[in-house]
Every structure is written in C-alpha cells, then in structure tokens.
Chains A and B, each alone.
With several copies, the nearest count.
Chain A
Amino acid sequence: MTAATTFNEREAEVCYVARLIEDGRTYWVAGGGGPMYAVLLAQRIGYAPNAQYITEDGAIAPEPMLPFDPIQTMVSSRAGYRALQWGTMNVAQDYAALGLIDYGILNTLQVDTHGNINSTFLGEYPDSGRRFGGPGGADSIAAMAWRTILMTDQQRRKFVSRVDFISSPGFLDGTEGAREAAGLPAGTGPWRVVTPAAMYDYTQDRRLRLIAVSVWTTVDDVLKECEHHPVIADQVATLDPPSDEELTIYRTELDVRGQTSDRGSWITWNGEKYEQMEDGA
C-alpha cells in the first residue's frame, strides 16, 4: 500500500470505514453513498471479499452495476443487480430482527455522547428549529444490527452532549440496560463513529471515546469540533491516510463521478506533511 498524496477528506472517511469491514460478516447499509461504498471498497480491494450487504429495499447481497444515477441507490436495477435475493423493506428488517445482520452503517446529522442519532430536528421540536427528513432506515439499523458504525462530519454542531431529538437509538441515557428496557434487542448498540478527522468507539460505560485521528489533524483540533468533551483513549492512534490502491478502486470503480469529493476539503502531501486545504477547494 502506498499512501496517497492528494485526496478528499470524505474519501479518507470511506477508506477508514472500509478498513473496519470484517470479512464474512453481513452489513445493512443506510441509503447509498458512504456506507455502501465502504463495503464495496472492502470487497473489491480484498479487505473483506466475503462481506455481504443488504439495503433497505431488500437487495440481499447484490453485486451492483456502478455507477448509479442520482438517488438510484435503491429500487433500481443497477443497485439490485446480481443479488442473491430480491426482497422488500420488511424482508430486510426481518433479517436484522433475527440477528442475521452483524453491522449497520449509517450516515447522520448529529450524534451525542451516548451514540444517539438525530436526523429529525435541530432545535426544539416541533416548532422552534429546523426540520429534517426523519430516521429513514437508520432507526431499524441502529436498533437491530449487532453493531452500528456511524459516519458523520467532525463539526461542533454534530458532536453534542445530547442530541436535540433521538431519531435512532444509541445507548439512550447511557444507563446499563437502557436499550433492553426500551424493547430493543439485547446486546446491540453503537460501535464506531467515523468522521473525516477521527474515529471513536465507546467505553464500557457506553460513552463516546476518541481513539484515533487523521494524520493531518490533532486531538486538540478534533476536540474543538466537539460540543461536548468525549472520553479520550489512553493511546490515540493516527489513522493511515488513504492508499493509492484504495483511491484507485474507489475513484475508478465506485464513485466514478466524484460525488463524494463534491463537498469536504482536500488533503495534500506537501513533501513533509499532510495539509488540509480550504473546504471545497
């Protein structure tokens, strides 16, 4: 693997998640974009050739024909191509309810210290603030997959003490057994949060913990982009930047239109270190 010298921070985020993909495991990916690309990248580069994914519309272990038209990451012939089964949303959720889905991968708006996820409302529900689209499939994924990987941005307004509205469950109030008491399946919950800048896991007592940062940033810079102060691991690792191999597959086979890098800032190697460019530069 050769470290790449120019890449978008969102490309890096997908690569980080791809490296988390465990071979021979099942994934429920929310929507298209990052979550789906992360699994496809892991399959194609060989990190996890036998990982399988399902989508909300019941594409079971597809081998999609890329690229997709805008929005057409579900209920389309290319997205469901060469699946082992075509189901529906209820079929997908049944498989998760039965404990057959190891991991869920989500994108979201806002996450809190207990891993609760907000995709419904910023501000005071229902009247004072901004309305968003709701949980979609994320509530089911976060409730029923054994482990949840969350992809989001490293921004103060996104890393908060308590989300304004719990759309999809993390550890709820963080007390032991809170999920089970609410009727959610035992033994499930948030597992990792990945941003372009950092990676988090959860402590034994179900609190968000910073465990790694990107090579072009620092723990302090990351903490500036958290409204609350997460637990910090004894050893905070540095995340390897994307490799040329990863980016080649990603750019030529997966996101060939560069939609991922439409937003987010670019990172370059200046000969001495990685530097982050202005957003959208």
Chain B
Amino acid sequence: MTTAANRRTSVNERGVEYLTPDPDAFRAYAREHKQRRLISKLMTERDAIAAFVEDGDYLVYDCNYLQRGPASLIREIIRQRKKDLWVGAKFTYVALALLVQAGCASRADVGYFGSRGPVFSRAAKEGRLQFYEYSNAGMTLRLRAGAQGASFIQNRSLGGTDGFRHSGACVIDDPFTGSPTVVLPALYPDVAIIHVQEADVYGNARVFGTGIAHAETALAAKKVILSTERLVETEEIRANPGLTSIPWLAVDAVVLAPFGAYPGSCQGFYASDAEHTAEVFAAMTKDQLGEYLERWVYSVEDNSQMLERRVGETKLLELRNREVIREGYPS
C-alpha cells in the first residue's frame, strides 16, 4: 500500500527550490495508484498515516488545526514521528508550530502561519527549517492548477513583492496580450489530509460551509487521507450527487473521526474549544510546545483516547451544544 510518491524538485534562477509541477508524472502516478473501484477505504488513523505519509513527503492539510482541519491526523503524524515533511503552510495558526516542534517538518511554503514563540527561529537557526514565500491564495491557486492537471497558472498577485523573489513563481510575457504576468508552479502534493463533515467508505465526501481548497487539494494530491465526522451510506451520496465535494477517485483512506477537528470547530457539528485554543497559543508563546505535545499527542494512543482522557464527555457535549447554527448543514 505504501507508495514512493517521489518528491522531485526544481531550482529556479533565483536559487529557489520548489516542487516540480509535472502533470504527466502525476498522471502516471494516478494511472497506477488511484483506485477506480468502489472498495472500502475505511481504516484507523494509525493505519492511514502509516500507509500514506512517508518521510520526505510534501504535505498539505486543508483548513487548519483550529478551523475544520484534520487536527487528529496532524496529531497522528506527530505521534508517528514522521520526518522531513515539506508543508504547504497556508492559512494556519498553530499546525506548523506543532510539526516543527515535533521534528516532523523541515520546509514550508508560506501562505500564513502563526509565528509566536521561539520554535521557528530556533529551528531556522539550527538549519532544521527552510521557508519559501507565497501567500494563502497563491497556495490555493497552485493547488487549483494541480487539480486541473496543469503545470502553471496565472496569478494577478505576488508580482513585485519580496515574496515573489523567494518563491517558485516567475514572470512571463502573456502569450496573448504581451503584458508581463506572474505564473505560479502547479502544486501536486505527495499527500493531503482533509477533514470533512460526511463521507462514504469509498471516499465520496461532502464539505459544508465555507472552506479553503478542499476539492482542489484532494484532486491535486497523490495520496489523500480524509477524516470524517460521520460516515454516510453510498445510497445517500447517490440520492444527492450535488452535495459531493470530493469524489472517491481521489481518495486513498477514509478515517472515521468524530471530533476529528478538535480543538477546532467543525461547522454544523461543534464549536471550537476556546480554552484549548488559549492553551496551545500560550504553549507557543512560552516555548512549552513540548509539554503540549506530550499531553495531547504522545501520552495518548489515538484521537478517541485523547477525547476520552483529556477532553471528556461533558466538554464534548458542551461544544456540540454551542454549535447552534443548523441552516445549510446536514441535519
């Protein structure tokens, strides 16, 4: 089941390294590895991360640790002590800090990450962390290009900034208008982790509410792990195909993960844990992420044990009850 996704990189004339945007390589991978059959991909978080996240992978998570993100899968990556991940660090407050503290991440394409505390400067100083500069929407455009089978995509932004100089982007003459235009390299991550509200066992998944780039991420990534609040029958998927955000074709693993976005919120299911949010930010600021990880990751076996031992039923019920908005979400 493990697959060498073969991270290949290029270096541009400014000396910036970036993941090579090779549509034909993705196609060849997809031909061989993406499962066309409707077979169950249901597995534990442990098995999914063990099978599909390899040291050295380029990792993208959709949303983040505090907002309908794959928080339980991020913790499992840390628990399994994956190494040398290159992280698509867009729209993220604490996940990159956790991954760097844990020694999992060594590179980051930056959109935005929460930068409190000493963890980043320490890692950078010790040569354990390299940054490349993009923007949030630049990163989702790169994923869009990947999801469309392209190698590049125009961006009306990024041009003229210092971020541009430290990115894989380049300026070309528009073949039709002749004007200078910025193009970004498509991003085909090795592995993506995405938290959804509903999925069937094959990986047909539904996302409700606003989002970052779940569909693009699922399509562009070579290996895709979904965690889902709730399993639904495929009959239910077929009864309303307009709700399907991600097709089974893109998906390698489905992990049933109620409260998988905890401590974050999950629209229509539960609110975020504000106390925990404060705790993790404080841990960043006070250089106590080691303790944080010990308590919330290493000392528990999996997400369900964490919820049981560290959060408790009363709190979980409270978080469910605090999600009062039902309109537009699954009943």
Contact = CB atoms under 8 A, between A and B. Distances in A.
B24 A186 contact: yes
B237 A84 contact: yes
Interface residues of A, number: 80
A102 B66 CA distance: 30
A187 B250 CA distance: 21
Interface stretch (A49-57, A205-213, A247-255): A49-57
Interface string B23-38: 1101111110010111
A75 B67 contact: yes
A46 interface: no
Interface stretch (B74-82, B240-248, B303-311): B240-248
A167 B163 contact: yes
Interface string A137-165: 11110111010000000000000000001
B182 interface: yes
A70 B136 contact: no
A69 B241 contact: no
B44 interface: no
B120 to A, nearest CB: 5
A60 B166 CA distance: 32
B331 interface: no
> What DSSP secondary structure best describes chain A's contact surface?
loop
Given A70-B272, A90-B216, 8 more contacts: A50-B36, A56-B91, A63-B238, A75-B209, A98-B30, A100-B34, A167-B163, A185-B149
A93 B66 contact: no
Interface of A: 24-26, 50, 52, 55-60, 62-63, 65, 69-72, 74-90, 92-100, 102, 120, 125-127, 130-140, 142-144, 146, 165-169, 172, 178-187
A120 to B, nearest CB: 7
B228 to A, nearest CB: 16
B70 interface: no
Contacts of A71: 66-67, 93, 272, 277
B211 to A, nearest CB: 5
Contacts, number: 289
Contacts of B157: 93, 139-140, 142-144, 169, 184
B323 A98 contact: no
6 contacts: A26-B36, A84-B238, A90-B140, A120-B163, A134-B135, A138-B135
Interface residues of B, number: 92
B265 A69 contact: yes
B113 A77 contact: no
A51 to B, nearest CB: 8
A135 B166 CA distance: 13
Contacts of B63: 75
A187 B121 CA distance: 38
B244 A84 contact: yes
B274 interface: yes
Interface of B: 23-24, 26-31, 34, 36-38, 63, 66-68, 89, 91, 93, 110-115, 120-121, 124, 131, 133-138, 140-141, 144, 147-150, 155-164, 166, 171, 179-182, 204, 209-216, 219, 234, 237-239, 241-242, 244, 247-250, 265, 267-268, 271-272, 274, 277-278, 323, 325, 327-329
A57 B212 contact: yes
Contact of B27 (A76, A132, A136, A185): A185
Residue among A74, A96, A138 facing the most chain B CB atoms (10 A cut-off)? A74
B213 A24 contact: no
Contacts of A182: 159-160, 164, 171, 180, 182
A176 to B, nearest CB: 14
B274 A183 contact: no
A74 B329 contact: no
Contacts of A50: 36-38
